[in-house]
Chain A
Amino acid sequence: MTTSLLAKRSGGRLALLLALALLLIPYLHALATGQPETGSAGLAALHSRAESVYCAKGSTPTGTILLVETLLIAVATLLARGWKTHGNPLQEGLARHGPYLFVFLLLTTIPFLLAWRTGSSACTRGKAFFWESVFIDVFILAILAISYNLLFGFAGIVSFGHAAFFGMGAYTVGLLMKHLAFPWVAAVIVALLVGVVIALIKGVVGLRIRGLYFALFTLAFAEVFFLLAGNRILVDITGAEDGFTFAVPDFLNMTKNRLFFYYLTLVLMALAFWLVRRLMGSPTGQVLRALRDNEERARMLGYNTFTFKLIALVLAGILATGAGVLRGIALKGASPNVLGVGFTFDPLLATIIGGIGTFSGPVLGVFILRLVEQMLRDTVLTLGSVQIDIGERWALILGVIFIIIVLAFPKGIVGTLQEQYRRRKGG
């Protein structure tokens, strides 16, 4: 017992170390083999050495190494799961965390895969460059969906105003950097604090009123921000309905440093995922689940349900605001639509498609939604005499998909798969 528990813990640490090592290898390789840009010196020269390797068009050694590593991890994970020798930390770590490691490495490889398949560079304008921005959008929305799922799926709190967090994240960071010349770190911190404050207001005012009242309260709350952002009186500050743009430091500039931004959002998404997983595995998470299943009973067991709900709300608020901050920086601007119902509906839809109350469901939901939308954007479907322009009708199609899933597959993709897996195992 004790040994396997120890193995579990150190297994997690080993898996993390393994991930870092696997990520360093291709970079070190690039450093060793690249040619520095003429005229650069010091660290910049060193980095430009690496850049010359992985920014090359088409197939790059960096991409090849990452791909091989990804496949190796896949094989190793399968082997680790097959062998049942208890007590080996590396095997424990791979068996438990291997699938996540695999997905993470695969996402790390994607820019190079794209560059290879399309014969373009991962760092300069081209097809791979464009698709990276699609993935960045996916990662940001995945953070928003993870946050939504924390509230709805795990704590059982329905919110129809999640866009308030998201939008205020984008607006705050942008307005502070534009008008008050805040350095980006300060602007991000203040924006997250604004998220905390919104969560506290929502919590202290809204959570006293139960269930539905709270959902409606959040809807109305988000609408205030939406109205304010689009209003003409604030036009000098917010640009009213047109929104505003602001300058970001070069290294955060998605147009210049897209590959970096890709990895930044990927890592942050992974962090958000890990954070929620850790939280739900902790005693606090247990109470939240108990709350969701039966609030009355949790209260009778002596838990201060208000405090626990507030914790969930604040954490979800920070995550959603953080996603909004990223969105603001990525677009170098914000407009009222980040505060609109759409950014509440999208994470709700992703959560429901992927699977409410599952860890990977919301992330999967966002991937499916956004990538399918991107692929079908210019498709025109002809059914007899009716022509459906899928890109233009996407919102309508989403609405219909949403209704069908709520009616027929309430557990979503991951939930349904898990149920079938369990049933097969049980039967």
Chain B
Amino acid sequence: MTTKLRSGFWRQSLLIAGLFAIALLALNFLIFDTGIVAVVLLSGFYQGMLFFLVAAGMSIVFGLLDVLNLAQGSFFMLGAYVGFAIYNALPEGTPITVRFVAALVGAVVFGGVLGAGVEIALLRPLYVRPIFQIVLTFGLATAITELVRGIYGPSGLVPVEPPAALNTTIAVMRGQFETYRLFIIAVGLVLMIGISLLLQRTRLGIIIRAGVQDSQMVEALGINVRRVFTLVFALGTAVAALGGMTAAPFLGAYPAMGEQFLLTAIIVIVIGGMSSFEGTAIAALLVGLTRATVEQISLQYLNTPILASISILVFMVVVLLVRPTGLFGREA
């Protein structure tokens, strides 16, 4: 019985998401030229992918560990800083491509190792007091931000130069679009597909999907769930750090970027339904598109960039009113 309901619930969720996307598109075509629509769409996808990179780990971690990692934005920011440090530390004469790739790899490794450390040292003692875990990650976010501010100063670093092929623009219809944004979209897509393959096709994926429902039973089947917790947490923070370094040649690195992306990521996972991976991916893109559309509207007509931030908050509130557990959330 419940399963029949569930699949109905799912179809309904998809329908809502789809209708919303279509409505956004229609709005775009109504008010903008086609050339601009293309730019808005690409910009929406690029923003959505960045949100996805922060939110993906949060959502999976929340599903499995029941921990909402409010320090995820800080890992995103740290990824950018660590990447920059590696990029700039390589000896003179190193080709830009090598620097860039090394920065990406370094960010991933750093994010993963630090994430594993945080899970083992800080979160593990607190599984008996769940609310304190969230409170702790909130404090951790503050500490990390202040640490970075202390080391690098409050104002942030100048963006590093990406490889030449990614550092140019191409004409899309009548608009201009930076190739670097396409790179961000590609990175996001690869991870989206990669993570869903991991979840659907591998033993780790089976464990994660089972653990979301009942991690105690998974442990009773002979699986060291705590080790899986650590691994999943580390994967989540590694992806966030990769996201930070991916965004950095575009946005630079500054202490407040963590907080900014955290807020949007929270909105994304709340809309997506907290622990649903598909929900998070879809919500990230919808939020990106909404932001891009409203940004364009305000650029063209109102000249107030703040509307974009407010629009996604309104989006979230509306979703919560219609679906108190988010679009793809577990039924309450």
User: Do A and B contact each other directly (Cβ–Cβ < 8 Å)?
Assistant: yes
* Interface positions of A (Cβ within 8 A of B): 158, 160, 205, 208-210, 212-213, 215-217, 219-221, 223-224, 227-228, 231-233, 341, 345, 348-349, 352, 392-393, 395-396, 398-400, 402-403, 406-407, 410
Give the docked Cα–Cα distance between A406 and B126 (Å): 9
- Interface size for B (C-beta < 8 A) is 39
Q: A349 — which chain B residues lie within 8 A by C-beta?
A: 139
A395 with B129: in contact, given A208-B324, A227-B310, A231-B304 (CB under 8 Å)? no
Give the docked Cα–Cα distance between A208 and B332 (Å): 12
Q: B146 — which chain A residues lie within 8 A by C-beta?
A: 393, 395-396, 399
Q: B316 — which chain A residues lie within 8 A by C-beta?
A: 217, 220
- Chain A CB count within 10 A is highest, among B125, B144, B274, B317, for B317
A160 with B138: in contact, given A212-B274, A233-B306, A407-B122 (CB under 8 Å)? yes
In the assembled complex, 21 residue pairs joining A and B whose CB atoms fall closer than 8 Å, in A order, are: A208-B324, A212-B134, A216-B266, A220-B263, A223-B313, A224-B313, A227-B310, A228-B310, A349-B139, A352-B135, A393-B146, A393-B150, A396-B147, A399-B143, A402-B143, A403-B140, A406-B139, A407-B122, A407-B126, A410-B129, A410-B132
Tell me the nearest residue of chain B to A158, going by C-beta: B131
Q: B306 contacts A227, CB within 8 Å?
A: yes
Q: Please tell me if B270 contacts chain A, counting CB pairs below 8 Å.
A: yes
* Interface positions of B (Cβ within 8 A of A): 68, 70, 122, 125-126, 129, 131-132, 134-136, 138-140, 142-144, 146-147, 149-150, 259, 263, 266-267, 270, 274, 304, 306, 309-310, 313, 316-317, 320-321, 324-325, 332
Choose from B142, B266, B309 the contact partner of A345 (Cβ within 8 Å).
B142
- Say how far A145's CB is from chain B's closest CB, in angstroms: 15
Q: B306 contacts A231, CB within 8 Å?
A: yes
A406 with B68: in contact, given A216-B266, A220-B263 (CB under 8 Å)? no
Give the docked Cα–Cα distance between A294 and B51 (Å): 35
Q: A233 — which chain B residues lie within 8 A by C-beta?
A: 304, 306
Q: A209 — which chain B residues lie within 8 A by C-beta?
A: 320, 324-325
Give the docked Cα–Cα distance between A400 and B140 (Å): 8
Give the docked Cα–Cα distance between A45 and B58 (Å): 66
- Say how far A410's CB is from chain B's closest CB, in angstroms: 6
Give the docked Cα–Cα distance between A238 and B50 (Å): 32
Q: A220 — which chain B residues lie within 8 A by C-beta?
A: 263, 266-267, 313, 316
Q: B332 — which chain A residues lie within 8 A by C-beta?
A: 210
- Say how far A168's CB is from chain B's closest CB, in angstroms: 16
Tell me the nearest residue of chain A to B142, going by C-beta: A399
- Say how far B305's CB is from chain A's closest CB, in angstroms: 8
Choose from A158, A160, A213, A396 the contact partner of B150 (Cβ within 8 Å).
A396
Q: A400 — which chain B residues lie within 8 A by C-beta?
A: 143
